[in-house]
Amino acid sequence: MKHIHGSVEVVCGSMFSGKTDELIRRMRRAVIARQKVQVFKPAIDVRYAVEKVTSHAGADFDATPVEKAANILEKLDADTTVVGVDEAQFFDDGILEVTTRMAKNGIRVLVAGLDQDFRGEPFGPMPMLMAEAEHVDKLQAICMVCGEPASRTQRLVNGKPARYDDPVVIVGASEMYEARCRKHHEVPR
């Protein structure tokens, strides 16, 4: 059964803040409530299993990888009542129209993604998704330098902070990420 009113919920924050864990938790609750769920993720996300969303803590949930946002509507089952979208920052701007259309059709849409890139700037379509959502939760991680709450993602390349002019998305580079607070987040120019 479709929801009386569809909606969009966004879970955002830095890396290691628990966004995917929270998406999985909400999807599992929908399954317990006997709702028909589908989860989608960008095909670019191949860090773990291709057909699963997987948190850094190891939780996972079946998911369908798609190349672009419009593919979600093509792969959406007619009886689906809850849709999860992980790593939404990697989708094209069409994700806003897709989530809005699903919500207008009575679907509860749960979106998880990084709200900021490694520079500390708004990431992809996330600001628009957050503005359009009925509910937004911003999660925090723990700063790897001082242990305070962290809202930023520090990219390190060869152990040093990535430079501002480095590409936002690097595929196959020897890089790592840490959660950082505002004080310890560094982006040299």
CA–CA dist 4, 7 (Å, integer): 10
Superfamily of domain 7-139: P-loop containing nucleotide triphosphate hydrolases (3.40.50.300)
Say yes or no to pLDDT of 45 above 70.
Answer: no
pLDDT digits (tens, 9 = 90+) for 67-80: 999 999 999 999 99
Q: What is the pTM of this model?
A: 0.91
- Convert 126-150 to b/e letters by CB count within 10 Å (16 or more is b): beebbebbeebeebbbbbbbeeeeb
Q: What is the pLDDT of residue 1?
A: 56
Domains of the chain, by residue range, sit at 7-139
Mean pLDDT confidence for 20-48: 90
Task: Tell me what percent of the chain is helix, strand and coil, each rounded to the nearest 5.
Answer: 20, 30, 50
pLDDT at position 121 over 60: yes
Better pLDDT: 81 or 47? 81
Q: In whole numbers, what is the pLDDT of the chain averaged over residues? A: 92
Which SS3 state, helix, strand or coil, does residue 73 take?
A: helix
Q: Which of 93-102, 123-132, 136-145, 155-164 has the lowest mean pLDDT?
A: 155-164
pLDDT of residue 169: 76
Share of the chain above pLDDT 70, in %: 92
Is residue 46 predicted with pLDDT exceeding 70?
A: no
Percent of the chain with pLDDT over 90: 79
Please name the amino acid found at residue 24. I
Active site residues: 87
**Pick the residue with more confidence: 142 or 171?**
142
pLDDT given at position 5: 87
